[in-house]
Amino acid sequence: MNVYAYILVMALVTYLIRMLPLTLIRRQFQSPFLKSFLHYMPYVTLSVMTFPAILSETGSTVSAVVGFAVMIGLSMKTKSLILVAACACLAVFLTELIPGVV
């Protein structure tokens, strides 16, 4: 089978997954549970994909936890994304400079 057939099948499957809910579900959801479930789904998916990478990408688990704690602390204070990411990276870097941590 050639590459174009694979691309065509992938495009059809991707299109169907996105198109079918729009065509089959025409009315608003009345269930508050379902509405909140669909509202928080992107955040949960992003968290599930990101959290394992946070713990495995540094030199040690200790530096990863320190960087994660800095990230959570600054995020709760509603700082900008760039500042949070830079401070978390700096915290990981400084933690890995301490002898005996890595």
Mean pLDDT of 8-18: 91
Is the confidence at residue 9, as pLDDT, over 90? yes
CA dihedral sign of residues 36, 42, 45, 46: negative
The total of structural domains in the chain comes to 1
Does residue 14 lie in a domain region? no
Does residue 10 lie in a domain region? no
Give the rounded percent of residues in the chain with a pLDDT score beyond 90. 34
Domain with 72, as residue range(s), is 31-97
- Tell me the pLDDT of the chain averaged across its residues: 87
Does residue 64 lie in a domain region? yes
User: Alpha carbon of 17 to those of 4, 21, 24, 41, 93: distances in Å?
Assistant: 20, 7, 11, 16, 42
pLDDT score, position 52: 87
Which range has the top average pLDDT, 24-28, 75-79, 92-96, 98-102? 92-96
Q: What are φ and ψ of residue 100, in 5° steps?
A: 90, -10
pTM: 0.58
